[in-house]
């Protein structure tokens, strides 16, 4: 019986497929996961990183929103939404930025980054994801990047 469970568990992982595509600047840290599963960061003042643009004279803008979590997993399911803007910086010269303000512990946030070349500004970065597995198929589009702060 144990062998059957082990084989089933392994085959369930083998059958899972995930395709992620980015619109705009690709984030590096915090890593992007499923839109309903926040990626944990290790600090209340994390350093955000993204792929640098290939062109020269590019700066970046970074925005962070509070995450709103509603509902209960056991009842109607957890619903997430983007809340109010809590952090915004323009003209960042490097492809990383440590935020100057302290975020709340054990809280969810959304973030995004965009390129700026002079007065030309790109759209905020988002991603699309498709997941196929033994439990079914799921797709989400135009998702900002979700993360969660440590408990303290």
Kindly state the average pLDDT of the residues 113-126: 95
Q: Give me the pLDDT at residue 118, please.
A: 87
Is residue 15's pLDDT more than 80?
no
* Long-range contacts from 68-72, C-beta under 8 angstroms, 24+ separation: 69/108
More confident residue, 39 or 135: 39
More confident residue, 148 or 71: 148
Q: Give me the pLDDT at residue 57, please.
A: 93
C-beta atoms surrounding 63 within 10 Å: 18
**Domain 2-148 classification at class level:** mainly beta
Contact 67, 143 (CB under 8 A): no
Q: Give me the pLDDT at residue 117, please.
A: 94
Q: Give me the pLDDT at residue 2, please.
A: 44
Kindly state the average pLDDT of the residues 7-21: 58
Q: How far, in whole angstroms, is CA 86 from its chain's centroid?
A: 16
Q: Give me the pLDDT at residue 8, please.
A: 40
Q: Give me the pLDDT at residue 47, please.
A: 98
Q: Give, rounded to a whole angstrom, the gap between the first and last alpha carbons of the chain.
A: 42
| Confidence grade of residue 123 (pLDDT, cut at 50, 70, 90) | very high
Break the chain into its structural domains and give their ranges.
2-148
- Strand 79-92 to strand 27-29: parallel, antiparallel, or no bridges (unpaired)? unpaired
């Amino acid at each position: 019986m144990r062998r059957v469970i082990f084989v089933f568990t392994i085959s369930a992982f083998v059958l899972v497929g995930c395709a992620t595509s980015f619109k705009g600047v690709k984030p590096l840290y915090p890593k992007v996961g499923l839109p309903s599963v926040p990626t944990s960061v290790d600090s209340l003042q994390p350093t955000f990183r993204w792929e640098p643009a290939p062109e020269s004279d590019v700066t970046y803008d970074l925005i962070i929103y509070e995450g709103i979590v509603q509902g209960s997993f056991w009842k109607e399911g957890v619903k997430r939404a983007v809340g109010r803007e809590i952090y915004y910086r323009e003209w960042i010269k490097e492809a990383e930025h440590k935020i100057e303000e302290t975020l709340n512990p054990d809280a969810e946030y959304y973030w995004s980054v965009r390129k700026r070349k002079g007065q030309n500004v790109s759209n905020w970065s988002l991603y699309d994801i498709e997941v196929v597995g033994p439990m079914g198929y799921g797709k989400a589009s135009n998702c900002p990047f979700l993360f969660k702060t440590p408990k303290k």
